[in-house]
Amino acid sequence: MERRRFQRFNVNGRIRGEIISSSDVELQDISPGGVRFLTTRRMNPNSNCTFTLNFNGKKISVNATVVRSMLKGTKKVNNDYLPIYEVALEFNNIDEIRDDIETIIQELLSEKITIK
């Protein structure tokens, strides 16, 4: 079994993400090394992209590589069904953005979450 280099943190929709020339994505989790999200756009493994994180008024753009892209299901939009892909990205320039990502993770961890 492959061991992760970084611990991942669940974001529960509290961070927005964008891929240049794509629709918004729904982040599932984040780590200092990458993100996992849902999108309606198919992305090819090993392809490169620019990913922008938006959280509490902060924007961080990072170059990333698609590690995994799998069809997870569909969703109905108007009278059409769109594919939903789960995509995992690995950040390429970790040293340049590590402090920013770790700040976001610390802010997520410090938020009080009420379970009903």
User: H or E segment at 110?
Assistant: helix 94-110
* Domains of the chain, first to last: 9-110 (2.40.10.220)
Task: Identify the pLDDT of residue 16.
Answer: 59
Please say if the pLDDT value at position 79 is more than 60.
Answer: yes
- Mean pLDDT for the stretch of residues 32-36: 91
Residue 12 vs residue 87, higher pLDDT: 87
- Mean pLDDT for the stretch of residues 8-26: 63
Please say if the pLDDT value at position 114 is more than 50.
Answer: no
Task: Identify the pLDDT of residue 15.
Answer: 59
Q: In sequence order, what are the residues at sequence separation of 6 or more whose Cβ sits closer than 8 angstroms to the Cβ of residue 50?
A: 19, 20, 61, 62, 63, 64
Surface-to-core class of residue 55, CB atoms within 10 Å of its CB (0-12 exposed, 13-18 middle, 19+ buried): buried
Has this prediction a pTM greater than 0.75?
A: no
Task: Identify the pLDDT of residue 89.
Answer: 95
Cα angle 28, 78, 73; round to 5: 40
Using 50, 70 and 90 to split pLDDT, how confident is the model at 116? very low
Q: What is the largest CA-CA distance in the chain?
A: 45
CA–CA separation, 84 and 104 (whole Å): 26
